[in-house]
């Protein structure tokens, strides 16, 4: 998505929130030192009442944060933070023979919904009739369905996964998905757009601009959320937010 970008991979020491926040701080400092850019987070966990105390972690000047919205119905953190761009999921349909694009609808398993604890940020005032007083997720979406995901070349299949992946042989190609794909996809597209907002709030204010739907593929087919209770509709919705990326405009 951003072939000219400098990429850093930062691994946390464990999957505890304490270590993950530490890893985000390391990544933020690396990006800031290079003059700014994006940090993508393909992790998350359930919301809790004290999460707002951690929102400042995602406010390093010159850094725009992207977070996966989750791969099951409901809302996760840090996707729910108003200081990140919440990346949800869609499903692509392509011709089985030619591979040509046919259409795009929501991914039913993608995380979505209103936060239980985060107040509605100002950039979502235009959709307050949908989200109410709380922050709505996701903001945007991209292909995340594992059946229509991205191809990855794996040269190092761990022995523990040998029976499940590549039939135990490497190298091999795999299709992977989840909003762990849509988050870095969006980070790369925004990086390639070259606008380099000074904060996530500035980036989201741009995304939710005066005429945002001209800059997105508006997803209007499908349902998502707990008990599939949310439906795709024209404009912003809980299933795909503003929609999937369409050109670099407004990014």
Distance of alpha carbon 60 from alpha carbon 96, whole angstroms: 44
Distance of alpha carbon 166 from alpha carbon 157, whole angstroms: 8
For the whole model, what pTM was predicted? 0.94
- 221-230 pLDDT tens trace: 999 999 999 9
Q: Is the dihedral of CA 227, 233, 95, 181 positive or negative?
A: negative
Domain ranges of the chain: 17-144+178-245
- Alpha-carbon distance values, 101 to 91, 192, 195, 217, 235 (Å): 11, 23, 28, 13, 22
Check whether 156 has a pLDDT greater than 80: no
User: What Rg, from alpha-carbon coordinates, does the chain have?
Assistant: 18
Architecture of domain 17-144+178-245: 3-Layer(aba) Sandwich (3.40)
CA triple 18-70-94, angle to 5 deg: 145
Spatial contact of 220 and 234, defined as CB atoms under 8 Å apart = yes
Q: Is the dihedral of CA 92, 37, 70, 243 positive or negative?
A: negative
Q: What does the mean pLDDT of the chain come to?
A: 93
Spatial contact of 200 and 160, defined as CB atoms under 8 Å apart = no
- 158-168 pLDDT tens trace: 655 555 567 76
* Token pair in block for residue 172: 């091999």
Q: How far is CA 227 from the centre of its chain?
A: 22
For residue 174, the model assigns a pLDDT of 82
């Amino acid at each position: 998505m951003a072939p000219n970008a400098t990429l850093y991979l930062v691994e946390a020491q464990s999957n505890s929130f304490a270590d993950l926040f530490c890893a985000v701080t390391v990544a933020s400092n690396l990006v800031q030192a290079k003059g700014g850019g994006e940090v993508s987070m393909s992790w998350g966990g359930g919301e809790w009442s004290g999460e707002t105390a951690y929102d400042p972690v995602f406010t390093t000047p010159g850094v725009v944060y992207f977070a996966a919205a989750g791969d099951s119905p409901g809302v996760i953190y840090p996707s729910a933070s108003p200081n990140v761009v919440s990346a949800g999921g869609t499903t692509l349909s392509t011709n089985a023979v030619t591979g040509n694009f046919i259409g795009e609808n929501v991914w039913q398993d993608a995380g979505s919904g209103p936060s239980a604890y985060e107040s509605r940020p100002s950039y979502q005032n235009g959709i307050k009739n949908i989200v109410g007083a709380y922050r709505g997720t996701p903001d945007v979406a991209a292909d995340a369905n594992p059946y229509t995901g991205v191809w990855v070349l794996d040269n190092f299949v761990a022995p523990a996964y040998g029976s499940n992946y590549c039939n135990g042989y490497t190298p091999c190609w795999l299709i992977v998905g989840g909003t762990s794909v849509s988050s870095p996809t969006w980070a790369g597209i925004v990086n390639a757009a070259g606008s380099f907002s000074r904060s996530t709030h500035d980036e989201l204010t741009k995304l939710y601009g005066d005429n945002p739907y001209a800059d997105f593929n508006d997803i209007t087919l499908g349902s998502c959320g707990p008990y599939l209770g949310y439906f795709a509709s024209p404009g912003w919705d809980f299933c795909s937010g503003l929609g999937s990326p369409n050109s670099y405009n407004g990014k």
